[in-house]
Structure 1
Amino acid sequence: MSFSSGASPQTTGTYSSYFSSSVPPESPSLQSQRSYSQASQAYDEDEFGDEFEDELEGPPSVTLTTASTTISRPSTPSGRRSRRGTTPSILGQSESNDIICAVSESRGVTHTVGIAIVNMSLGEVTLSQICDSQSYVRTIHKLQLASPSRIVFTPSACPPNRPSTFYSLVEQLIPEAEIACHERSAWSESSGIEYMEGLALDGDIGPLKVATQGKYYAVCCFSAAMKYIDHQFNVTFSPQSLRIGYQPSEDTMMIAIPAIQSLEVMCNLKSAKSKECLFGLLNHTLTPMGARVLRNNMLQPSTNFDGYIRVRYDALGEMVAHEEMFREIRKALKLFHDAERTFTKLITIRPATGITAAEEQITHILMVKSFLESVPDIYRALYPAKSDLLVKIRTICCPETTVPILRMIKEVIEADVTYMKSPLDLRNQRTFAVKSGLSGLLDIARQTYKELTDYIHQYTNGVSEEHQAAVTIKFDNRRMYWFRIPTADLDPESVSQHFINVIWKKNHIECQTMDLVKLNRRLSDTSNEVMLRSDQIILELVKDLRKEVSPLFRVCESIALLDMIASFGQVTTTRDYVRPLIEDTLALKAARHPILDKKMASEYVPNDYYGTEHHRFHCVTGCNMSGKSTYIRSVALLQIMAQIGCFVPAEFATFPIIHNILARISTQDSIEANLSSFGVEMREMAFILKNVDSQSLAIIDELGRGTGNRDGMAIAMAISEALIDTGAYVWFATHFIELARALENRPGVLNLHLASNTTIGEGGIPHLNMLYKATAGTVDDEHHYGIVLARAMGMPNSFIEVAEKVANDLRSRRESNRQNSESYKEIHRQKLMLNLYEALKQAARPSNPETRLGYLRCLREEYHERLREIEEM
């Protein structure tokens, strides 16, 4: 799938015054299998369910092994699969995918890098060609998000030759990926085009050629990646079966890895298993495909409003407005398994043969059949849809697409066979999957299987009568049939005489007998014969299905996208979100931090945000624990939500399109890099200054606090000046009140503070009350909030008194030196007029005439009040 009332500033009062007030039932089992249902019911899902799920998933798509090599993410130097703080853990990656990435860079003055990312577990290829800087920021970022298991370079870039700068950066910044090189002849543009023509889905070849025209390095990398996979692992794909797409880097937002981590976009900072992160909040998906689409969109939000963001808003708005349709969509989505992986396993041509391969092949066919039988429910649920995206999904999921493929399967597979999760049910379904009459020898083998199963149940009844015990027959893939017998019914001395493989539990034993082991062996041999004879028929069906994989993948992608939109609908309806507008202004009324809004519910205090051409740098001050960090993080999280097509927690919201989100929040040091907290801070700020521009949003928290006050203030001032000059949207939280006062006369700067008030308690001791409300201006340090908090924490009064004396003395000196000239007043008048001009521009937008008139009156009163304050300075 390839989709995807104005706010006006005022000049005084609370910051919130910047806004006007107007704004199908389960498929039955085979009839011939009813005699086996008793054993299925005896299966203990709680005990063996997880084991079976692991077996069912098996190796991702294929077992990629050679005589000496296995594709897997190599262990880290510490011997563990991943370390705290590594890129996969920061990105919240929980799936194990085999991802091969080929990269090649130009040798000219411009730093052009081609990338081909082949996800062998999902049958997906992403091609990109990036014109990057000398530090390869965008390329490294893309590779980190892809989390490849192996990165392939040209021989000239690798040792024993002198490693290129790009090679060294990849080796340093992506340590979890194994690095390899492949022979120079594999990097061929003509071979890459041939692979596209031979492997791309029908209908994608033409657009793909247009998209990659002139992208020499990307096409060469695709050739190298496919040849490397074929040569190294002896794995190929069937013709016209891969989803190959070209992804321009300029069509997506770049969220720096430190920003993803510190903003808790994908993973909670304290606990990787916690769902208290943005992904955990939004992930109400019901299919694995939908969760993957959500993750990819959150890591790289779209910057294409008309092609992606708007159509998702329309679809989400229609879902929220039509509760019945939304409920039917969610109900239908519960029926789907991980179809992407299943289809990828079908199109993978591998040399593996034998019983395991035959069983997997039949399982895949049953999963495809189950998938196709579930698609009509989606089509019916979407019948009332009117929005472009939902109509497009409904068209792709129409019966004309799925019914012919399902009919093809039912010519070979019994109609009432379905995919089951329990080991015994799945084994029986696989045994009787192929229709009777297609192979006489297969029918005889299945009859033998049925008779042996009947005999095992009769034997169980005999054991139960012999020992006068309630013997229950169980089944799992490792032991096959085994007995569960309550210990109260048995004499402990007789256990060792009659039973083997005994496992003592609290109230029962798990065991077998020699006769049962022999019966299991005979049953296993018979089952293997059934599988091999069924496989001869299934292979022909698989060949036919490979020709239809293109529409299957399109249906799967449509369902994944629908699942993501439905997930947005779930959180939107439960949390009361609103549809944002996409304009040149960032204006939020009563916006809430999405994660804390869920955790704190009605206790959370909403806030307003306002950013335009004249208010791009927001200097946020406030006392400790007043909510500065929460305030500045909220705007970045809401921006991400808006650009992935989700509604946001606010009363009113408009956002510009942002291309980069950069953040400097954490105050931790880095022992691995031998850097103090201040060293880490300066390194991250250097990265931000190199990459920030007018289309960026930067979140800076407590810059310069890791060194001396004088040096910290000087660095914070210099960096603030640089950020103001870039024209980026910046939310800058600081305790340097002098910084806020020095910048208040700069064009584009808006001073805010998180409000608090001081009350006098018993004994004349002041108490600080946090209001958590953003208000125009700088924090009032008259009451010395730091000293008040120190007293609240139990600091001795003798120290507090000395601190108050010193603070008052310093404040009096500052006030005596404060400028009070006519030029100072003139600067404030000019800024007041500039704010009035901006407010009148916003008021000119279409709105209710009565509301506009009331707003203008309020604006006039506040303008006169503020002007009077300036004259009285």
Structure 2
Amino acid sequence: MSFSSGPSPRTTGTVSSYFSSSVPPDSPSMQSERSYSQASQAYNVDDFDLPSNYSPSISSSRPSVTLATTSTTISRPSTPSGRRSRSGATPSILGQSESHDVVCAVSESRGVTPTVGIAMVNLSLGEVTLSQICDNQSYVRTIHKLQLASPSRIVFMPSACPPNQPSTFFSLVEQLIPEVEIVSHERSAWSESAGIEYMEDFALEGDIGPLKVATQGKYYAVCCFSAAMKYIDRQFNIAFSPQSLRIGYQPSEDTMMIAIPAMQSLEVMRNLKSAKSKECLFGLLNHTITPMGARVLRNNMLQPPTNFDGFIRFRYDALEEMVTHEEMFREIRKALKLFHDAERTLTKLITIRPATGISAAEEQLTHILMIKSFLESVPEIYRALYPAKSDLLVKIRNLCRPETTVPILLNIERVIEADVTYMKSPLDLRNQRAFAVKSGLSGMLDVARQTYKELTEVIHQHSDDVGEDHRVAVTLKFDNRRMYWLRIPTADLDLESVSQYFINVIWKKNHIECQTLDLVKLNRRLSDTSNEIIMRSDAVILELVKELRKDVSPLFRVCESVALVDMIASFGQVTTTRDYLRPEIEETLALKSAKHPILDKKMASEYVPNDYYATEQYRFHFVTGCNMSGKSTYIRSVALLQIMAQIGCFVPAEFAAFPIIHNIFARISTQDSIEANLSSFGVEMREMAFILKNVDSKSLAIIDELGRGTSNRDGMAIAMAISEALIDTGASIWFATHFIELARILADRPGVLNLHLASNTSIGEGGIPQLTMLYKATAGTVDDEHHYGIVLARAMGMPSSFIEVAEKVANDLRSRRESNRQNSESCKEMHRQKLMLNLYEALKQAANSSNTEALLGYLRRLQQDYIVRLQEIEDM
């Protein structure tokens, strides 16, 4: 049994391998004519010829890391203003709040179904992710993975880049990820044998064997790892300590793909109107306390897991235990407040950089203090998890047991004073670093520290003397730039003495910030003494760092465990404050009194909940209704709730059952694309082409007002054709439209269910119709007899003369339509077929029931309802 904070399991066999994400699979195309022209239609890129196949060379042994290699930066076409185009807004759409230095190497095979290898090395977190994706000619899965990773550099083979004929994949990356820097690296760097040697040298000790098994036959992924490591060594001059990198292979399955337009329009990671607003799904769920927990939450929301038995169920159990045991939950949240971003600190510890000097020594000593603080915090989370019984929390507790961290802490305290800890204020941190190393380990260090102490006392005495001489209240302050300085109120200060005695004066509203000549001299002496302390401490710290690098593997596992607990505790915080419900995972989507999670928080009791139901026989939902009746909110809610359920969070509903979805698509926005020279309708058709090429029976798509950007007749025809194509895919579709005739014409198709957002029409003063929105989904199509659009126009202040003409025209069109409607025998036959299919679905659902008494009554009602509906069809 395995658990993960990331969407997909790494098959390395250790807990550090369970915290990752991957791109879901894309069924290999079986049609050779699926050409690059289709990719250009889906992504709006220029046409390029496919280059010839290539085969990366395999060296007999891994070249030395000191081998001189060459790399080339690929220039991008400039915008008319001469600057590089920044039209790709992926990082802001994904709500990325912290910068990571990620180097990604990519390599591809050629053919009808290209295979793409990816190796992403996160230099900020010491993490390597290998993937090999069997994609189609549009490279949808690969592009999506790269967009989510937001790499700072992407490394290609020279044969795929200019001045050679650029490959299709290269052209797509250049057009769709314009913010990334694209480089090439020499062909000899792409070596499978070198990649395997890098795994043996740098993977955590317990991960090497399982990692080799996981990457067996993954030629392109391993070659990319070799190229990425050689590029990093060449360009950044960075090395890593042995057995220190968290290397994991991510299979291209077990995660949901949320298309970037869907992520943007659904406001999954950020609010559309304001990037700083927390009114988005991530803002709603992000109650994490540690930066590590926030990263895990973000990764899961970008690619929710699809493995229920491997991940989702264990998260449900852990979350349920947290919210039902309030004392344990409070203790966990309290313990999490003690943690810093230990993941980044450990990464810096294992990174061997050539930098030397005072700054490097100070930074290394600070990292030791942060690791010590982290190790001192781990027992608190262990004690908080002691009552836990769910499998996931028990496994995390075992990873945080004292037997893992106490020996490492004792090893640190052999060199570092036990009462020294990491502090955030500049002065406190400076003093902690000065007295960090234990006394007696170095005689010269002890002498330097005594001098430091005496100089500090002299500076404080000097501050007191200044106050007495000028008869003012002097406050001694410190910062890293000026070191010690004086803050003096101006109320009682003799201003003539300022220019005579004080230097470096900065005037504020009610005080001055200044120094004296003697203070500057003391600061310089103190700085020299501090530097001597740091350098002599560094000589002692170096040996400790070497020993800590050997123990980095269990520390990374503890970090990942803390991050996962933080994410689940964040779910617990929103669950307890909003009274969410644990969902079931079934083949049927069934929600009772479900709410839009973001609006539910904003509107509280004013929000009107709704029901949702989707099965094989009701998989395509036409949603009609008046303007402002809540159609868009209704269809967006189901996608957001699906994401919440698959990342392991409870949902706002009275009852909830979800199927496992592998893809989410959305066509909502009405914006045009000036940089692509496309109108709003052009953007709409481009995105629908992308959806139609990639949607399948395990997908969920929400489509809002398709065809409204062109003429009424053409829009209706296009919406009809696309709707029929989507019905045939078997996907779960929620289709909001004002084309009421479209919903009525396709109502008899198997799988179609008509819904409308109800409203009440009443006659107000002067016999004028008035609309009251109920925001409640009801079966059937909206009744357009009272012309809700005209009623709303009147409410908005449209002149009555225009309204009267509009009503006359609408009534005339409706009478013509009614006269042309015929109840043919073929129409009756379609109704009979749909009724039979509905009966079959109901009986299939009833077969799974274990309540015999309730089942008997249900079958009687089902029989009576079938007879009544059949008679209605015959009477048509």
TM-score, normalised to structure 2, is: 0.90
CA distance in 2, matches of 1:583, 1:189: 43
Matched-pair contact (CA < 8 Å) for 1:74–1:177: no
> Kindly tell me: are residues 480 and 858 of structure 1, through their superposed partners in 2, closer, same or farther at Cα, counting changes over 3 Å?
farther
Match of 2:165 in 1: 162
Q: Does 1:96 align with 2:99?
A: yes
Q: Structure 1 423/847 Cα, relative in aligned 2: closer, same or farther at 3 Å?
A: farther
**Whole-angstrom CA distance in 1 between matches of 2:592 and 2:741:** 29
In structure 1, the residue corresponding to 2:542 is in which secondary structure? helix
Query: What's 2:575 paired with?
Result: 572
Structure 2 residue aligned with 1:492: 495
Matches within 5 A, 1:27-106: 86-106=89-109
Q: Which amino acid aligns with 2:717?
A: A
> For 1:481 and 1:807, how far apart are their aligned partners in 2?
81
The answer for the alignment partner of 2:727 in structure 1 is 724
Equivalent pair of 2:579/2:652 in contact (CA under 8 Å):
yes
* Partner in structure 2 of residue 363 of structure 1: 366
Could you say which residue in structure 2 is the equivalent of 1:179? 182
Q: Which residue of 2 aligns with 1:150?
A: 153
Q: What's the CA shift string for 1:611-630, capped at 9, x where partnerless? A: 11111111111111111111
CA contact (8 A) 1:76 1:82 kept: yes
SS of 1:249's partner is: coil
Structure 2 residue matching 1:489: 3-state secondary structure: coil
Match of 1:3 in 2: 4
2:518 corresponds, among 510, 515, 518, to 515
1:54 corresponds to = none
Which one-letter code corresponds to 2:327 in the other structure? E
- Distance in 2 of aligned mates of 1:145 and 1:134: 20
User: How do 1:330-729 residues align onto structure 2 when only pairs under 5 Å count?
Assistant: 330-729=333-732
Residue 360 of structure 1: how far off its partner (Å):
0.6
Tell me the amino acid that sits aligned with residue 144 of structure 2.
Answer: H
Which aligned pairs between 1:714-753 and structure 2 lie closer than 5 A?
Answer: 714-753=717-756
What's the offset of the Cα at 1:377?
0.8
- Amino acid in structure 2 at the alignment position of 1:474: K
Structure 2 segments unaligned to the other structure (5+ residues): 6-67
Take 2:382 and 2:851, find their aligned partners in 1: how far apart are those partners? Answer: 41
Q: Is the 8 A contact 1:154 1:182 kept in 2?
A: yes
TM-score, length-normalised on structure 1?
0.90
Equivalent residue letter for 1:3: S
**Which residue of structure 2 aligns with residue 294 of structure 1?**
297
The answer to whether the 8 A contact 1:347-1:546 is kept is yes
In 1: Cα distance, 2:166 partner to 2:837 partner: 55
Deviations 1:677-726 (A, max 9, x none): 00000100010011011111111111000000111000000000110111
Report the Cα distance in structure 1 between the residues aligned to 2:105 and 2:334, rounded to whole angstroms. 41
1:112, 1:602 → 2: CA distance?
51
CA distance in 1, matches of 2:737, 2:213: 50
8 Å CA contact 2:112, 2:136 repeated in 1: no
Which residue does 2:264 correspond to in 1? 261
Distance 1:74 1:353 in 2: 36
Distance 1:359 1:70 in 2: 35
Deviations 1:754-776 (A, max 9, x none): 11111111111111111111111
Indicate how the Cα distance of structure 1 residues 113 and 533 shifts in structure 2: closer, same or farther if over 3 A, else same.
same
The Cα of 1:362 is off from its aligned counterpart by 0.8
CA distance in 2, matches of 1:744, 1:864: 20
Letter in 2 for 1:434: V
Whole-Å Cα distance in 1 between the matches of residues 557 and 776 of structure 2? 48
8 Å CA contact 2:85–2:178 kept in 1: the answer is no
Distance 2:869 2:601 in 1: 38
Bigger shift: 498-507 or 290-299?
A: 498-507
Aligned partners of 1:482, 1:759: CA distance in 2, in Å?
75
CA offset at residue 854 of structure 1?
6.3
Distance 2:686 2:183 in 1: 29
Q: Deviations over 1:516-540 (max 9, x none)?
A: 1111111111100000000111111
1:575 CA drift (Å): 1.0
Count of aligned positions: 810
- Are residue 311 (structure 1) and residue 293 (structure 2) matched? no
- Name 2:117's counterpart in structure 1: 114
The percentage of counterpart residues that share the same residue type is 85
User: CA-to-partner distance for each residue in 1:264-321, whole Å, 9 max, x for gaps?
Assistant: 0001000011010110011010100000000001101111111111111111111111
CA–CA distance in structure 1, aligned partners of residues 842 and 437 of structure 2: 73
Instruction: Spell out, residue by residue over 1:442-465, the C-alpha distance to the aligned partner (whole angstroms, 9 max, x if none).
Output: 000000000000000000000001
Q: Is the 8 A contact 2:71 2:184 kept in 1?
A: no
Alignment CA distance shift 1:376-1:416 (3 Å): same
For residues 589 and 864 of structure 1, the distance between their equivalents in structure 2, rounded to whole angstroms, comes to 28
Structure 1 pair 651/630, CA: closer, same or farther in 2 (3 Å)?
same
Q: Which moved more, 1:745-754 or 1:828-837?
A: 828-837
Correspondence for 2:238 among 231, 235, 238? 235
Equivalent residue number for residue 206 of structure 1: 209
RMSD: 2.1
Residue 793 of structure 2 aligns with which residue?
790
CA drift at 1:508: 0.9
Q: Aligned partner of 1:155: which letter?
A: P
**Cross-structure match for 1:221:** 224
Higher relative contact order (CA 8 A, sep 6+): 1
Per the TM alignment, residue 580 of structure 1 is displaced from its structure 2 partner at its CA by: 1.2
Separation (CA, whole Å) in 2 of partners of 1:435 and 1:757: 79
Conserved? CA contact 1:82–1:89, under 8 Å: no
Cα distance in 2 for residues equivalent to 1:219 and 1:815: 67
In structure 2, relative to structure 1, the CA distance for the partners of 1:189 and 1:701 (3 Å cut) is same
For each residue in 1:483-506, what CA deviation from the matched residue of structure 2 results, as whole angstroms up to 9, or x when unmatched? Answer: 111110212222111111111111
> Residue 3 of structure 1 contacts residue 311 of structure 1 at CA under 8 Å; is this kept in 2?
no
The whole-number CA distance in structure 2 between the counterparts of 1:528 and 1:424 is 15
Deviation, 1:70, is 14
Select between 545-554 and 310-319 the one with higher mean Cα deviation. 310-319
Unaligned runs of 5+ residues in structure 1 are 5-65
Contact 1:74 1:176 (C-alpha < 8 Å) held by counterparts: no
SS of 2:417's equivalent in the other structure is: coil
Q: Report the Cα distance in structure 2 between the residues aligned to 1:491 and 1:765, rounded to whole angstroms.
A: 80
Q: Which amino acid counterpart does residue 195 of structure 1 have in structure 2?
A: Y
User: In the aligned structure 1, how far is the partner of 2:851 from the partner of 2:484?
Assistant: 75
How big is the shift at 1:579?
Answer: 1.2
Contact (CA 8 Å) 2:708, 2:715: kept in 1 or not? yes
